[in-house]
Amino acid sequence: MTIYSLYIYDRHCNCIYYQDWHRTKRPRTAVEGGLLPAVSAAVYPKADEPAPDAAAGPDWRHPRNTLNSATGVVVAVNDDAPRSPLPPPRASSPPPAQAPSPSAALTFDEEAKLVYGVVLSLRNLVRKLSGRDEQFVNYTTSTYKLHLYETMSGYKFVMLSDPKADSLRFVLRQIYAGPFLEYVVRNPLVPMDSREQGIDNEFFRLSTDRMIRGLTVFE
Amino acid sequence: MAIWGLWVINKAGGLVYQRSFGDGLPHLTSNEYLVLAGTLHGIHAITARLSPTGTSSGANVISGETFKITILLTPTGTKFVLLTSLAENTADTVLQKVYEAYADAVMKNPFHTPEMPIRTEGFDSRITTIMSS
């Protein structure tokens, strides 16, 4: 049992916060302009890096890198050759067979939009089927479970966890009632509802992290 | 413990069978059911791509506050969807029985066109038996 990730969206459909924990399949960094600033430093496009694959880990979709990691020949040949374009060997490198598959290559902004789209469609589906103002709560697949908590002001808290976890709606409510109110709503330095900037700040990130790591489902 | 509805969605996302049981959920028009089935088909495909760890199936169970949607995806792409109360714990076995009835009464029926709406009396009566047991 574990917890994978947390997304927060505002009422204008923008992703304003992201954090992840035990993900084995990380999203690629967002493309330029696809993501607001101050959402998550980990997935924000890195403009000032000269070579993106040197800093952000090996780019497995690149045909040359895939070849090198699969054969290992080029790495052993010549010490004088410039090594810098080659990725450093990683313990957790994925098998080359699955590396070029397009499903592993979602950028973060695409992923965030898909999550929002699924949540919104399911919300409308549940509302239509029940015939009243009923909320969508969660869904389960074979590898994860997605939970939704929506506040009165239209903020949507979305969490991905292990499929065997119970409903984590109360956790999302706790994040809202605790760290979110304390370090975002009551923080004069965070522009709420700006449509130009996320809500990421050190206090909120730390206190959310501490809360999630303290849960029994986190391990 | 209650079952409120059964849908069969073909591999293209079209609703080929829809039946409501009891009145736990409001009865919608057949046009609305068609739209909802199409939406569900799309969502199901996207949920498989959002997995944070490796490859995933599509959504199996979708829960609201008072009801849940259980989805059985067959290897051929046909989806069996059951709308039940949250406490219902036999949804998976019921769906397996429905799949069996579908194989027997629909797929073996020479007058049935694949991927088209199911108008087979035998299937209707088999479903009635499954739901009343």
- Cβ atoms of B28 and B133 within 8 Å: the answer is no
Chain B residues touching A129 at Cβ < 8 A:
25, 28, 36, 64, 67, 69, 83
Residue B51: pLDDT band by 50, 70, 90 thresholds?
confident
Residue A72 — very low, low, confident or very high, per pLDDT cuts 50/70/90?
very low
Which residues of chain A have a CB within 8 Å of the CB of B32? 128
Pair of tokens at residue A128: 């239509």
HEC letters along A123-175: HHHHHHHHCCCCCEEEEECCCCEEEEEECCCCCEEEEEECCCCCCCHHHHHHH
pLDDT attached to residue A105? 67
Band of residue B45 on the pLDDT scale cut at 50, 70, 90: very high
Report whether A163 contacts A144 (CB < 8 A). Answer: yes
Where does B3-132 sit in CATH, by number? 3.30.450.70
pLDDT at residue A48 in the model: 57
Confidence of residue B97 (pLDDT cuts 50, 70, 90): very high
User: In chain A, which residues have their Cβ closer than 8 Å to the Cβ of B66?
Assistant: 130, 134
What's the ipTM?
0.91
Give per-residue pLDDT as tens, A141-156: 999 999 999 999 999 9
In chain B, domain spans: 3-132
Q: What is the CATH number that goes with domain A3-45+105-213?
A: 3.30.450.70
pLDDT band at A80 (very low <50, low <70, confident <90, very high): very low
- Please determine, for residue A137, whether its predicted confidence score (pLDDT) is greater than 50: yes
Name the DSSP class of B71: E
Q: Minimal CA–CA distance to A147: which of B43, B41, B62?
A: B62
Find the CB nearest B62 among A122, A134, A144.
A122
The helix/strand/coil state of B6 is: strand
Q: What is the reported pLDDT for B11?
A: 92
Q: Which chain A residues contact residue B48 at CB under 8 A? A: 141
Handedness of CA A142, B89, B12, B101 (dihedral sign): positive
The answer to whether B62 contacts A144, with C-beta atoms less than 8 Å apart, is no
Nearest C-alpha in A relative to B32: A128
pLDDT in tens, A83-110: 444 444 444 544 444 444 445 568 888 8
Say yes or no for a CB contact (<8 Å) between B39 and A125. yes
Cβ-based contacts of B40 with chain A (< 8 Å): 125
B30 touching chain A per CB within 8 A: no
C-alpha to C-alpha distance for B35 and B57, rounded to whole angstroms:
23
Q: How confident is the model at residue A47 (pLDDT cuts 50, 70, 90)?
A: low
Nearest to B50 by CA among A98, A56, A136, A146: A146
DSSP B15: E
Average pLDDT, chain A: 77
Nearest to B19 by CA among B80, B107, B99: B80
Range list for CATH 3.30.450.70 in chain A: 3-45+105-213
Report pLDDT for B1.
65
How many CB atoms are located within 10 Å of the residue B92 CB? 13
Q: A interface toward B at CB cutoff 8 Å?
A: 4-5, 20, 22-25, 103, 106, 111, 114-115, 117-118, 121-122, 124-126, 128-131, 134-144, 146, 160, 167
* In the block, residue with structure tokens 């609305």: B32
* Cα B112 → chain centroid: 19
